[in-house]
Amino acid sequence: METRSLQDTVAPEGICYGCGGKNPHGLHIQSYWHEDGVHVMAQHTPDARYCGWPELVYGGLIAMLVDCHSNWTAMAYHYRAEGRAPGSSPAIECVTGSLGVKFIKPTPMGVPLTLRAHVEGDVGRKSRVICEVYAGDTLTAVGDSIFVRVDTAQLKAAAHSRES
């Protein structure tokens, strides 16, 4: 895998709770292209405060990991599809269009989680990303989500121009 994460390369000032390196309270998820050139990988060991049932990871945390990592997979895919290095201009940004997570087995606390994602298909600005979550060698969850390529400056302007 590459030595510098997609997040550190593309958005070193990122403040997202899940993947922003500059969020002092965040999870700081780091995603990397796998050597196979198809998958984007990440690892995360949940802190004890993200416990759901005793000794099990809270499902909401798993959903957040899938969301952030899958979004970075979509963005990395678009850079690669255009033959551009991650972080090159103009920036490629995506947002979650839909997030689906299927919980297959309980995810134990205290075990490093591996996220393995790839783009299953893309049509225009939309990409379908499949993200598998493993606790050790055990598949515990699968994300099946849609990410939409956007201009985040326009989204921000639209969100803040709403009337109450």
Residue 155 confidence class, pLDDT cut points 50, 70, 90: confident
Q: Looking at residue 137, what is its pLDDT?
A: 96
Please state, in angstroms and rounded to a whole number, the distance separating the CA atoms of residues 79 and 75.
6
Q: Which of 36, 59, 35 is nearest to 113 (CA)?
A: 59
Q: Identify the band that residue 146 occupies on the pLDDT scale cut at 50, 70 and 90.
A: very high
Q: Has residue 60 got a pLDDT over 70?
A: yes
Whole-prediction pTM: 0.92
Q: What is the mean pLDDT of the chain?
A: 94
Q: What is the CA radius of gyration of the chain?
A: 16
Work out the percent of the chain whose per-residue pLDDT is above 70: 97
Please, which residues have CB within 8 angstroms of residue 51's CB and are 6 or more apart in sequence?
57, 58, 109
Averaged pLDDT for residues 55-82: 97
109 vs 160, higher pLDDT: 109
Tens digits of residue pLDDT in 96-109: 999 999 999 999 99
Domains of the chain from N-terminus onward = 6-161 (3.10.129.10)
Q: What's the mean pLDDT in 150-163?
A: 77
Q: Across residues 45-58, what is the average pLDDT?
A: 95
